[in-house]
Amino acid sequence: MVVARVFGKSSPEAIQRENDRLAALQQLDLLDTPRDEGFERIVRLIKQIFSIDIGIISLIDGHRQWYKACSGLAADEVSLEDTFCRCVVDCDEPVIVQDATKDARFLKHSAVTGEDHIRFYAGVPLRTKAGHMIGTVCAIDRQPRSFGSRDLSILLELAGAAMDRIDLMQSAATDSLTEAMTRRAFKQEADQLISLALRHQHDLSCIVFDIDHFKQVNDRHGHAAGDAVLKAVASACKATLRAGDLFGRIGGEEFAVVLPHVDREGAVAVAEKIRAAIASQPFRSDYGVLHVTASLGSSALSIVSKDIETLLGQADAAMYQAKHGGRNRCVSWSSIHADHAIGARRRVLKAGSILFNDRRSTIDCTVKSIGSESAGISVSNTSGIPAEFVLAIKGEGFETNCRVIAQDRQHLEVAFK
């Protein structure tokens, strides 16, 4: 098992720097957002300028390196323990490896000894204007090579261009592919609708849904086919909604809806209409006719769930239950654990550890939302994690016993015992 750590360091200064770094990343709210052509163009430029095999722009949370854009590798993310970029985070400065087989840090690394055959690596920090490192920009090759000061200067300029793109995206209100609201704009509008609902004491509900097996569409037919499916799914969803409903794309293949003046029973009915519309519609593209389904979860405004983060967290948990139950179905949060009220949460981004097997086994995780009674956690893979464990947050002295109430391959919803 991976041993929990703060990027190889445990000093108070390193822990504080890590906490500040994650807080800056949380503020940007970019993790797991959809592909963006501006970033894709930068990674293609990295490959062309340096004549190398792989270009990457990544964001790094508490347990993984997630690729905002990547050209030359099939993966979307990698465990932090398995990436060269952990060294960039550790030292907070560029790292150049001209030949990994001659570098003691990497010569036995699986990416070097295995089929990826990595030999050259150059990684520089992706840094906010305030100086916080939120990720890396990398040039990688399968042949040893030199990398001079001019090359490094160019890579740093490309990292600056990537950060400029991030800053520009903060003001975007509409997703260019699906014409749904961006995640940031969706949450801002949702906050306003929730405030009105609370003030005037009317109902409000939330739906989160995810396209089932979407990765298989991209793997089998390519990203162009995947994009066509996303556009068609968004169109089918919008056709079932009212003009005053909010509709946002909050992840790669994940969407959310806010329904003003709709109670929990009404939300279930709307979710079922969306599910049926997606399942019954053939999606035509240059690659033929594709059929997809979606799993949906719903939640409703209550005395406990009265902010968008809690509503999304509850709807997410219900959606995970729908996937676990066989997909292509709708599940209401109230039907999962009616006997266990999950309190309000705040959105965070904190490095954590999952401890089990009498604390002999430890898995790094990222705590993404937390309240007095529950939390939402992300891991590289939930396989092998028991139904009950201890959750610890690094550098805060926080530990509590948890039980899993919902999960999918990379996410856990837990209640504190």
Assign residue 71 the CATH number of its domain.
3.30.450.40
Q: Are 122 and 155 in contact (CB under 8 A)?
A: yes
What is the average pLDDT across 151-180?
A: 96
Does residue 25 fall inside a structural domain?
Answer: no
Give the span between the Cα atoms of 360 and 391, in whole angstroms: 14
Instruction: List pLDDT tens digits, range 302-341.
Output: 877 788 988 998 898 899 889 989 999 999 998 876 545 5
For every residue of the chain, which 3-state class applies, written as one string?
CCCCCECCECCHHHHHHHHHHHHHHHHHCCCCCCCCHHHHHHHHHHHHHHCCCEEEEEEECCCEEEEEEEECCCCCEEEHHHCCCHHHHHHCCCEEECCHHHCCCCCCCHHHHCCCCCCEEEEEEEECCCCCEEEEEEEEECCCCCCCHHHHHHHHHHHHHHHHHHHHHCCCCECCCCCCECHHHHHHHHHHHHHHHHHHCCCEEEEEEEECCHHHHHHHHCHHHHHHHHHHHHHHHHHHCCCCCEEEECCCCEEEEEEECCCHHHHHHHHHHHHHHHHHCCEEECCEEECCCEEEEEEECCCCCCCHHHHHHHHHHHHHHHHHCCCCCEEEHHHHCCCCCCCCEEEEEEEEEEEECCCCEEEEEEEEEEECCEEEEECCCCCCCCCEEEEEECCCCEEEEEEEEEECCCEEEEEEC
C-beta separation of 316 from 208 below 8 A: yes
Q: Are residues 297 and 219 in the same domain?
A: yes
Q: What angle do CA 177, 179, 183 make, to 5 degrees?
A: 90
Residue 304 is part of a domain; what is its CATH number?
3.30.70.270
Structure tokens at 307: 């902010």
- Confidence tier at 146 by pLDDT (50, 70, 90): very high
Q: State residue 186's pLDDT score.
A: 97
The reply to whether 17 falls in a domain is no
pLDDT at 3: 33
Enter the tokens of residue 340: 């266990």
- Give the pLDDT of residue 190: 97
- CB 362, CB 390: distance < 8 Å: no
Within this chain, do residues 327 and 222 fall inside the same structural domain, yes or no? Answer: yes
Q: Is the pLDDT of residue 343 over 80?
A: no
Kindly report, residue by residue over 362-381, the tens digit of the pLDDT.
Answer: 999 999 989 888 899 999 99
Tell me, yes or no, whether 190 and 268 share the same domain. yes
Say whether both 54 and 147 belong to one domain.
yes
Within a domain: residue 325? yes
Q: What percent of the chain has pLDDT over 70?
A: 95
Whole-Å CA distances, 378 to 50, 277, 386: 35, 30, 15
2 pLDDT tier (thresholds 50, 70, 90): very low
* Banded pLDDT at 7 (limits 50, 70, 90): very low
Same domain? 331 vs 390: no
Residue range(s) defining the domain that contains residue 215: 183-336
Q: Is the domain of 48 the same as that of 162?
A: yes
Q: Judge if 126 and 212 occupy the same domain.
A: no
> In this structure, is residue 109 part of a structural domain?
yes
Let me know whether 143 and 271 are in one domain.
no
176: in domain: no
Q: How many angstroms separate the CA atoms of 319 and 143, rounded?
A: 44
| pLDDT of 200 above 80 | yes
Nearest to 351 by CA among 309, 379, 374: 379
Kindly state whether residues 381 and 323 are assigned to the same domain: no
147 in any annotated domain: yes
d(CA 10, CA 103): 24
Q: Residue 183: how many CA atoms within 13 Å on its side-chain side? A: 20
Q: Is residue 196 part of a domain?
A: yes
Dist. CA 334–CA 351, nearest whole Å:
30
Q: What is the pLDDT of residues 241-272, one digit of tens each?
A: 999 999 999 999 999 999 999 999 999 999 99
Report which listed range, 213-222, 279-288, 342-351, is most confident.
213-222
User: 284, 309, 336: which is the final residue of a domain?
Assistant: 336
pLDDT of residue 337: 60
Decide which of 169, 197, 214 is a domain's last residue.
169
Note whether 44 and 82 are same-domain residues: yes
Report the number of distinct structural domains present in the chain: 3
What tokens were used for 375? 């939390």
Model pLDDT, residue 406: 80
Same domain assignment for residues 239 and 318: yes
Q: What percent of the chain has pLDDT over 90?
A: 76
Average pLDDT over residues 79-107: 94
Which pair of structure tokens corresponds to residue 244? 């005053």
Q: What is the pLDDT of residue 340?
A: 52
Report yes or no on 102 lying in a domain. yes
Domain termination residue (choose one: 319, 336, 353): 336
Q: Are residues 202 and 282 in the same domain?
A: yes
Check which CATH number belongs to the domain holding 406 and give it. 2.40.10.220
What is the spatial distance between Cα 108 and Cα 5, in angstroms, rounded to a whole number? 21
